[in-house]
Amino acid sequence: MSKYVIANWKMNPVSYSEAQKLAKAIGLSARKYRNVKVVVCPPFTWLTDMSHEKEFGLEYGAQDVFWKDEGAFTGEVSSPMLKNSKVKYAIVGHSERRKLGETDAQANLKIKSALANGITPILCVGEDKKIHSRGLAAVTEFIAKQLRASLKNVSGSTFQDSGILIAYEPIWAISTNPGAKPDNPEQASTTIFSIRKVLASMFHVSSARRRTTFQVLYGGSVNSQNAEGFLFCPEISGVLVGGASLKPAEFGEIIRAAHDVSADKKVKNKKIKK
């Protein structure tokens, strides 16, 4: 099964020419490894121009979306606007937005608006250090709460038809947080297995169909050196990459690792030129 490699550029880069250069390089890797689902999420300023650029051959996502279609909502961007700009995905509930006040209830409104407009949500969930230190049961309980609230009133058939992506992003693993270090593939896999169990019970999916029905990605300090380990795990449907997605050679290696893993090839640990 093809794996997802999603770039979250966050508030980078600061010029469109840099964004173009980056997208061009990522586009080359995406074209070379067509069995990998590559999605790039640039800031809004570059997103609409980029999504109309056929040259890069990429799919695009927004880093956020508002829940109303139009009106007096200064600074917001709606799902119909994204749809009309050929944007296919929208990140919802990223921990950096939650830190600015986004709640599960808001994430739920955003998801429903995205779904109504044919945009695939990428719902981010994940625990902080304190909850993590309490062990898997506490982590699962916390994430189950996030999932139940964020996916409230989303039906099982809508979930499956729209292909909602869940990104498990433990906050303590996100590279820009103090003392961050990546999760290890084994532990991430175990947590994602629990997330699938929660989703299966929410949407009445049998254990045999859990892995094919739900796409659950890992995110948090993924780079060219550790990507293969995460991508190799059958439980992990792909990776959401922040910092390393701004370095074309590094990100290209992550795409290659996803290709090799999907194509069942042995991944060679090539050295990256920094």
Site string for ligand PGA, 174-193 (x = CB under 6 A): xxx-----------------
In angstroms, rounded to a whole number, what is the distance separating the alpha carbons of residues 27 and 111? 28
| Span of 115-123, 143-151, 205-213, 241-249 interacting with ligand PGA by CB under 6 A | 241-249
In angstroms, rounded to a whole number, what is the distance separating the alpha carbons of residues 153 and 236? 26
| Span of 20-28, 55-63, 114-122, 236-244 interacting with ligand PGA by CB under 6 A | 236-244
73-132: which residues touch ligand PGA (CB under 6 A)? none
Catalytic residue status for 132: no
In angstroms, rounded to a whole number, what is the distance separating the alpha carbons of residues 263 and 266? 9
Site string for ligand PGA, 130-169 (x = CB under 6 A): ---------------------------------------x
Looking at 102, 127, 169, 253, which residue is catalytic?
Answer: 169
Interaction of residue 61 with ligand PGA, rule CB under 6 A: no
Interaction of residue 39 with ligand PGA, rule CB under 6 A: no
- Distance between first and last Cα of the chain: 31
The least CB distance from residue 37 to ligand PGA, in Å, is: 16
Interaction of residue 220 with ligand PGA, rule CB under 6 A: yes
Give the residue, chosen from 61, 185, 219, 229, that forms a contact with ligand PGA under the rule CB under 6 A. 219
DSSP 58: -
Interaction of residue 8 with ligand PGA, rule CB under 6 A: yes
In angstroms, rounded to a whole number, what is the distance separating the alpha carbons of residues 192 and 180? 19
User: Are the C-beta atoms of 33 and 72 separated by less than 8 Å?
Assistant: no
Q: Where are the alpha helices (DSSP H) in the chain?
A: 16-32, 44-52, 79-84, 95-98, 104-116, 129-133, 136-150, 156-162, 185-203, 210-213, 227-232, 248-262
Give the residue, chosen from 122, 199, 240, 261, that forms a contact with ligand PGA under the rule CB under 6 A. 240
Give the residue, chosen from 61, 126, 242, 252, that forms a contact with ligand PGA under the rule CB under 6 A. 242
In angstroms, rounded to a whole number, what is the distance separating the alpha carbons of residues 48 and 82? 8
Encoded tokens for 61: 């996502």
In angstroms, rounded to a whole number, what is the distance separating the alpha carbons of residues 120 and 210? 19
Q: 90 or 205: whose CB is closer to ligand PGA?
A: 90
User: Are the C-beta atoms of 240 and 8 separated by less than 8 Å?
Assistant: yes
Catalytic residue status for 102: no
* Site residues for ligand PGA per CB under 6 A: 8, 169, 174-176, 219-222, 240-244
